[in-house]
Amino acid sequence: MWQLNLTDIGIDWGKVLSVLAYDPKQPMIFSSGFFLWLFLGFSFVYMLLQKRMTARLLFVTAFSYYFYYKSSGIYFFLLGIVTVSDFCLARVMADTVSPWRRKVLVVTSLCINLGLLVYFKYTNFFYEMLAPLWGGGFHALDIFLPVGISFFTFQSLSYTLDVYRGDLKPLDSLLDYAFYISFFPQLVAGPIVRARDFIPQIRKPLFVSREMFGEGVFFIVSGLFKKAVISDYISVNFVERIFDNPGLYSGLENLFGVYGYALQIYCDFSGYSDMAIGIALLLGFRFPINFNSPYKSDSVTDFWHRWHISLSTWLRDYLYISLGGNRRGKIRTYINLILTMLLGGLWHGASWNFIVWGGLHGAALAVHKYLRSLLKRPKHYHSAGVRRFFAVVLTFHFVCFCWIFFRNTTFEGSLTMIRQIFTSFHPELFGQLVGGYWKVFMLMAVGYLLHWCPDSWQNACSRGMIRLPLLGQAVVLIALIYLVIQVKSSDIQPFIYFQF
């Protein structure tokens, strides 16, 4: 009898396994072709399991763990440790009456989550600081930083802290909690989704309306354009060159390098968030918005209401308020703001540059709060007219100044860049600069124009995508993928926030 032999039809199983295995040089990201094909297969199975709740949750959780394996290799077991430990601690915490025992349990959760974070992210940082105390030389330890560890530890911590505060009832199902923590669209770079927002959606019947589907496609198209067209192109072809050797370029070139990085990091991170929100919508789940045109801000306070909203609200609710917030007098409020932002800077990376970046933002928040109190402005006051224009320009340039420390890996690089801008500007090079990098400047102009356009324009585009038939939405997505192929570099550019 004739039998099908897969080796006879030319399937190279070694190559197939190598594609499916973890590759540290090619981590799984939304904008990669491999993910797009994998997601098509995932979506097919997902729809087949539409009415089988438990099987669907198991399938998505298993896929999410595979997604994390493709991003960080064997370290996916850390996700399991955090999930099981916090699920069990929250269950015991809810059944415990003794305040002392509840504190021990929540401290245990803090130690597990922050302990993992400190070991993988900050061991070499503290080792380098402490090495001179015992007269030893510093040799960096070979410690791999798992992708997204800052995000899923903070997300899991929000759950145990909410249970401890009595704001949330613990889950009875470990599967539901594993689904919540590992849900792949936001697993490796946020947004940090709160349990109280996401958990009620888990057991709802799967339903994706036409509006949700069209909105999801719009977010995916928007995010892919920001990341793969604007951010990656200006990064590879301009920004990296300036920041790698700021001393070789004039102050004008350095200044536009900073403007380029401000756009790059916004398009990169908000692009990821948009794609995560869009994919979640296609699967029947809603995430909160993570970015709201942050460079339209008229103050640093307003900036942090618009930039990485899921992190800024997390720091506010679980760190700033825990430190006392504004309940212990004005001086303590200013100190709490600065401490919160210093730790927020340290969250981004084990470097003094990040601490300086956080400290600058913390000091600016304290100054703005003081001035608002001095001028007796209400909490939600926003300037208008010409005053607002200058406030937005001032805030944008302060944020750009802080990005210098955020992007550079050394203080010397940051100081060199600042020195070039203020002492070797050479405005006469502007025409030559634009002529040499006209494609970069064109994309920067497009990026900033799209960012500063009225919100009503974006809402109109979203409504237009929703009204398109499925074929029209597919054509838009295929056209964008073709554009991405035309402008992308030879190597996949990982998302900036993968390193955090």
Same domain, 175 and 233: no
Predicted pLDDT of residue 11: 61
> pLDDT by residue (tens digit) across 170-186?
999 999 999 999 998 88
- The two three-digit tokens of residue 6, written as one number: 């897969």
Same domain, 146 and 175: yes
Domain extent for 423 = 210-298+382-491
**Does position 211 have pLDDT exceeding 70, yes or no?**
yes
197 or 140: which carries more pLDDT confidence? 197
Same domain, 145 and 162: yes
Task: Compute the average pLDDT of residues 302-325.
Answer: 91
Ranking 341-350, 389-398, 410-419, 440-449 by mean pLDDT, the lowest is 341-350
Distances (CA, A) of 204 to 42, 60, 199: 20, 15, 10
Task: Compute the average pLDDT of residues 71-79.
Answer: 86
- The two three-digit tokens of residue 468, written as one number: 């398109």
pTM: 0.88
Task: Compute the average pLDDT of residues 384-389.
Answer: 88
Same domain, 428 and 466: yes
**Does position 195 have pLDDT exceeding 50, yes or no?**
yes
> Please, what's the b/e burial string for 197-215 (b: 16 or more CB within 10 A of its CB; e: otherwise)?
ebbeebeeeeeeeeebbbb
Among candidates 316, 309, 302, 269, which has minimal Cα distance to 396? 302
Q: How confident is the model at residue 2 (pLDDT cuts 50, 70, 90)?
A: very low
Catalytic residue among 305, 308, 348, 426: 348
What is the rounded CA–CA span in Å between residue 71 and residue 365?
Answer: 35
Q: Is the dihedral of CA 224, 227, 230, 234 positive or negative?
A: negative
Centroid of chain to Cα 198: 18
Beta-carbon contacts of 430 under 8 Å, excluding residues fewer than 6 positions away, are 252
Instruction: Say if 174 falls within a structural domain.
Output: yes
Q: Are 260 and 242 in contact (CB under 8 A)?
A: yes
What is the rounded CA–CA span in Å between residue 304 and residue 207?
Answer: 34
Same domain, 107 and 178: yes
- The two three-digit tokens of residue 372, written as one number: 């608002």
Ranking 170-184, 195-209, 291-305, 470-484 by mean pLDDT, the lowest is 470-484
Same domain, 61 and 189: yes
Same domain, 43 and 73: yes
Among candidates 203, 215, 257, 273, which has minimal Cα distance to 57? 203
- The two three-digit tokens of residue 153, written as one number: 């530890």
What is the rounded CA–CA span in Å between residue 275 and residue 224?
Answer: 7
Rg (CA), the chain: 24
Share of the chain above pLDDT 90, in %: 44
Instruction: Say if 113 falls within a structural domain.
Output: yes
Task: Compute the average pLDDT of residues 2-24.
Answer: 61
Task: Compute the average pLDDT of residues 66-73.
Answer: 86
Instruction: Say if 65 falls within a structural domain.
Output: yes
- Rounded to the nearest 10°, the torsion over CA 486, 489, 494, 495 is -60
Task: Compute the average pLDDT of residues 381-388.
Answer: 84
Beta-carbon contacts of 393 under 8 Å, excluding residues fewer than 6 positions away, are none
Predicted pLDDT of residue 464: 87
Residue 380 annotated in active site? no
Q: How confident is the model at residue 207 (pLDDT cuts 50, 70, 90)?
A: confident
What is the DSSP secondary-structure string of 86-101?
HHHHHHHHHT---HHH
Task: Compute the average pLDDT of residues 424-431.
Answer: 90
74 burial via Cβ count (<10 Å: 0-12, 13-18, 19+): exposed
Instruction: Say if 320 falls within a structural domain.
Output: no
Q: Are 181 and 156 in contact (CB under 8 A)?
A: yes
17 or 353: which carries more pLDDT confidence? 353
Predicted pLDDT of residue 5: 55
In whole numbers, what is the pLDDT of the chain averaged over residues? 86
Task: Compute the average pLDDT of residues 176-204.
Answer: 88
Same domain, 59 and 181: yes
Predicted pLDDT of residue 150: 86
Among candidates 283, 326, 358, 228, which has minimal Cα distance to 46? 283
Among candidates 193, 191, 197, 256, which has minimal Cα distance to 223? 191
Predicted pLDDT of residue 392: 94
291 or 12: which carries more pLDDT confidence? 291
Predicted pLDDT of residue 191: 87
Q: Please tell me the total count of domains within the chain.
A: 2
What is the rounded CA–CA span in Å between residue 356 and residue 363?
Answer: 10
Share of the chain above pLDDT 70, in %: 91
Task: Compute the average pLDDT of residues 248-274.
Answer: 93
**Does position 254 have pLDDT exceeding 60, yes or no?**
yes
Q: How confident is the model at residue 402 (pLDDT cuts 50, 70, 90)?
A: very high
Instruction: Say if 334 falls within a structural domain.
Output: no
Task: Compute the average pLDDT of residues 116-131.
Answer: 82
Q: Are 74 and 122 in contact (CB under 8 A)?
A: no
Ranking 235-244, 294-303, 376-385 by mean pLDDT, the lowest is 376-385
Instruction: Say if 349 falls within a structural domain.
Output: no
Task: Compute the average pLDDT of residues 55-69.
Answer: 92
Same domain, 404 and 281: yes
Predicted pLDDT of residue 362: 94
Among candidates 489, 491, 347, which has minimal Cα distance to 406? 347
Task: Compute the average pLDDT of residues 51-65.
Answer: 92
Same domain, 165 and 86: yes
Task: Compute the average pLDDT of residues 240-257.
Answer: 93
Q: Among 186, 202, 218, identify where a domain stops.
A: 202
What is the rounded CA–CA span in Å between residue 430 and residue 252?
Answer: 7
How many other CB atoms are found less than 10 A from the CB of residue 106?
19
**Does position 16 have pLDDT exceeding 50, yes or no?**
yes
Task: Compute the average pLDDT of residues 42-57.
Answer: 90
Instruction: Say if 307 falls within a structural domain.
Output: no
Predicted pLDDT of residue 440: 92
What is the rounded CA–CA span in Å between residue 180 and residue 193?
Answer: 9
Same domain, 100 and 159: yes
Same domain, 256 and 404: yes
Instruction: Say if 460 falls within a structural domain.
Output: yes
- The two three-digit tokens of residue 241, written as one number: 């060159």
Predicted pLDDT of residue 487: 66
Q: Among 202, 226, 254, identify where a domain stops.
A: 202
Main-chain dihedrals φ then ψ at residue 375, nearest 5 degrees? -90, 0
